[in-house]
Amino acid sequence: MLSIIGSMLVLFVWEPIRIDLIAILIPVVLVILRPWTGVDGETAISGFANSATITIMAMFILSEGIQNSGVIQLLKDKIIKLTGSSEARQVGVISAISGSVAGFLNNTPVVAVFIPMVTDLGRTTKVSPSKLLIPLSYASTMGGVLTLIGTSINLIASDISSDLIGRPFRFFEFTPLGIVVLLTGVIYFSTIGRKILPDRVKPEDDLVHEYEMDLFMAQVVVEKDSPLIGKSVKESLSKSELDMDLIMITRNGDEFIEPLEAKQIKAGDQLIIRSDRETLRKLIGRQGLKIVPEDLAVKESQLQKPTQGRKLVETVITNGSIFANQTLAEINFANRYDCSILAIRRGSELSHYKLDEMELKPGDVLLMLVNEQTLRRLRNRRDIIVAREMEKEDYTQEKIPITLGIMFGVIFLAVFEIIPISISALGGVLAMVLTGCVNPAKMYEAVNWEIIILVAGLIPLGAAMEATGTAEFLAGHILNLTGNLPPIIILAIFYLFTALITNLVSNRASIVIMLPVAVDAAVRLGVEPFSFIMAVTFAASTAYLTPIGNQVHLMVYGPGNYEFSDFFKVGFPLQIILTFVITIGIALIWGV
């Protein structure tokens, strides 16, 4: 059993295949190795019928209804009024509001909505978005420990706790300590953390300069003797072996962007081309093109003209996106969306070469030149975020009272345990659809199926650990290493150890592995096992040393232009502070 756990952890860190496929592999392996795991077919697929899985799926759809209403967007004006141009107030208010909202909604859509809002706020007030985006993502995960539905981790932990000790979590079980954790984070980012945070993205409006495109774009004119004249873009430039892209054609005052393949090139056409200087020299020498003028770089104003429906935008590839782990050429991105990809930013690294051959990763930011129709299509996708604020025409603000009423009803039924939370959440989904708050055709698009599969695949692993005695074995070894330390110190060690695992693999994997071990350790010590369950649960949601532990950290990785080490620099002091705060809080509230 230990070899299965070890292999699974290696796969989650290495990720040779998608993590949801790794999760599917787990029940398959458990059944194949049944003589050693004791897991039959029914147990292996029990995660798909688990109440936690059902509730998580329903919460995605409920969050969609809230997001469609535009209620979160209404917070933007409030944030601007509350913060002004003060960086400290911006950090504090953004952390407090995003954390509070994430206590009741899935934090992924919360962060997705806040990214363009925060990016524009920073640039408008001349505050680097890098100062604001990590606080946004970290605070949203702290908000997850405010209520039972704040994060899928809580629902999984509640289900496992019910199986192990017969005690599920109450709806507001976390709230007293969750408020303290969120306040700690807000104070930290408003003071110490704000000074540690980098300002890698300069608060300027010129995306061409920010992405260093002035070094990789040029404007050329087609001369009368050019061999390109009369040919389509597709049969001439697109087939060139040189690494270049045609971005725009200007002809007699008219400007054309993608789709360009069918356009015939004519004498006098002005072309804006993406390439490096060496490639440009080769192109000009062969194709009868002339730089006009030689010393003038392409400006953003030449590309971006909102009055003509042409915009430069940044888009972020989300975790679980269908575009992840594929190249732009493989998905035919430019033709599919009638756009030009000018540059790709991965963390703090900018790429301008061979973009079609670059495999996209979650957190990548694409600088794109798009038209209004393309922008709308991208804005309506769930697996890509437009990282600049724009007005969305289809918000249904008249339904805000209905969506909030439905959400209140779901919470009310769960708090007073009138019906199980999985049933109240499903009832809420039905109400959202019947009242028109969620479009039935888009209901399934709202669900992050990668997370659903991941949860369902991991749940039988915890059962196998308990049934085979693996959890008891690991608990015994951990206690042998800790010697005769006081129980509260061992509690802190379990918190830190779980947080460290979460920083390397999925937080859902760490919770499933560590909860049975923590309970067995508590039983051996003769202390309250529920306290150890809470330590592991809080740790799985508050891991801040890398961007790996939670998908929302990857969502801000590219837009903030962060380096991997930035998360450690700002997260390490916070992790130590929270170790003390959470350990002492658990001891005071639930005992040790």
pLDDT digits (tens, 9 = 90+) for 512-534: 999 999 999 999 999 999 999 99
Contact 475, 532 (CB under 8 A): no
State how beta strands 289-291 and 254-256 pair: unpaired
- Among 29-38, 305-314, 316-325, 464-473, top mean pLDDT goes to 29-38
d(CA 536, CA 495): 5
User: For the segment 331-390, what is each residue's pLDDT rounded down to a tens digit?
Assistant: 888 778 878 888 898 887 888 877 888 889 888 989 888 888 888 888 877 778 887 655
Q: What is the CA radius of gyration of the chain?
A: 26
Mean pLDDT of 124-130: 86
Confidence of residue 542 (pLDDT cuts 50, 70, 90): very high
Residue 142 has pLDDT above 90, yes or no: yes
DSSP secondary structure code for residue 358 in this structure: P
Q: Which two tokens stand for residue 145?
A: 């420990």
Query: Treating both helix axes as pointing N-terminal to C-terminal, what angle do 175-190 and 130-143 enclose, rounded to 10 degrees?
Result: 170
Q: Which two tokens stand for residue 31?
A: 């059944």
Q: Is the model more confident about 290 or about 99?
A: 99
Mean pLDDT of 155-160: 94
Residue 404 has pLDDT above 50, yes or no: yes
Residue 147 has pLDDT above 80, yes or no: yes
The confidence score (pLDDT) of residue 180 equals 97
The confidence score (pLDDT) of residue 569 equals 94
Residue 212 has pLDDT above 80, yes or no: no
Mean pLDDT of 297-318: 73
The confidence score (pLDDT) of residue 388 equals 67
Confidence of residue 11 (pLDDT cuts 50, 70, 90): confident
Q: Please, how many CA atoms are within 13 Å of residue 334, restricted to the half-sphere of its CB?
A: 22
* Ramachandran class of 485: left when φ > 0, alpha when ψ lies in -120 to 50, beta otherwise: beta
Taking residue 355's Cβ as centre, other Cβ atoms within 10 Å add up to 21
The confidence score (pLDDT) of residue 87 equals 86
Task: Please give the distance of CA 284 from its chain centroid, rounded to a whole number.
Answer: 42
Percentage of the chain with pLDDT > 70?
92
d(CA 334, CA 104): 37
Provide CATH 3.30.70.1450 ranges for the chain: 207-298, 314-386
State how beta strands 289-291 and 310-317 pair: unpaired
Residue 298 has pLDDT above 80, yes or no: no
Q: Which two tokens stand for residue 173?
A: 């079980």
Q: Which two tokens stand for residue 35?
A: 């003589």
Which CATH architecture group holds 314-386? 2-Layer Sandwich (3.30)
CATH superfamily of 207-298: Regulator of K+ conductance, C-terminal domain (3.30.70.1450)
Mean pLDDT of 285-309: 65
Look over the chain and give the mean of its residue pLDDT values, rounded to a whole number.
85
d(CA 479, CA 9): 22
Percentage of the chain with pLDDT > 90?
35
Residue 243 has pLDDT above 70, yes or no: no
Task: Please give the distance of CA 4 from its chain centroid, rounded to a whole number.
Answer: 28
Mean pLDDT of 459-488: 86
CA distances, 23 to each of 317, 318, 455, 501 (Å): 22, 19, 8, 17
Residue 392 has pLDDT above 60, yes or no: no
Q: What's phi and psi for 303, nearest 5 deg?
A: -90, -45
d(CA 205, CA 211): 11
The confidence score (pLDDT) of residue 353 equals 76
Mean pLDDT of 467-493: 88
Mean pLDDT of 275-296: 67
Residue 295 has pLDDT above 70, yes or no: no
Residue 429 has pLDDT above 90, yes or no: yes
d(CA 29, CA 7): 11
The confidence score (pLDDT) of residue 512 equals 92
Q: What's phi and psi for 155, nearest 5 deg?
A: -65, -40
